[in-house]
Amino acid sequence: MIANSLAKFARRFGSALAEGPVGRTVMPGPLELFQAEQKGKLSRFLTKSPVMGSAEKPGLIDSYFSGRNMVNGKEDFAFGEADAALAKRRTRGAYAIGGLLVANTLGIDPFGATSGVNNLAMLGAHATVGSSLYAMGGKSRVAGMAYLGAAALNTFRSGDNAGPM
C-alpha cells in the first residue's frame, strides 16, 4: 500500500517536473528550441535594422511603407521585394488613421462624420479580433463567435454596453 502510493507520487512528481517550467528549461523540446532560434533571429534583425533608413539601406518604417514584408531566411530575417499596391494601401491607411486622430484630437465632428468613422473603425477592429479568434479553431473558435456576437449585439444597442463596443 505504502509502496504503491510512493510509486504513484514519484510518477506524478516526475511528470510534473518534466512538464513544468523546470523541465522545459532543462529539457526543452523541439518547438521550444525552434521558438528560441526564431526569437534570436528576430532580435538580431531588429538590432541591425535602423528605424529610419536611407536610400541605400531602408529602415523598418521605410520598408513597411514601400510595401516590403519580412521574410524568414535560412540565417536571418530580411525584407522581401517591394510591392507597389501594398505600399499604396499602407500609405493610404496611415493617412486615414492620422486624419482621424487629428479630427478626434481637435474635436472636429462636422455633421457627425468623425463619430461615424470612429464607429466604423471600432467595428472593423472588433471584426478583426473576432474573426482572428474564430480562425484559430478549437476553443478559440467559440470565443471568436461569442466576441463577434457581443460586438454585433452592442452595435445596434444604445447606451453603455458590456463587452466589445
At 106-149, the pLDDT tens digits run 998 888 888 888 888 888 888 888 899 898 888 889 999 999 88
Residue 95: which pLDDT band, with cuts at 50, 70 and 90?
very high
pLDDT recorded at residue 27? 66
* Residue scoring higher pLDDT (124 or 16): 124
Work out whether the CA dihedral 15, 19, 23, 29 comes out positive or negative. positive
In terms of Cβ atoms closer than 10 Å to its own Cβ (0-12, 13-18, 19+), residue 86 is middle
In angstroms, rounded to a whole number, what is the distance separating the alpha carbons of residues 138 and 106? 44
Residue 84: which pLDDT band, with cuts at 50, 70 and 90?
very high
Indicate if the pLDDT at residue 82 is higher than 60: yes
What is the model's pTM?
A: 0.58
| Domain positions in the chain | 1-46, 85-156
In angstroms, rounded to a whole number, what is the distance separating the alpha carbons of residues 80 and 25? 34
Indicate if the pLDDT at residue 71 is higher than 60: yes
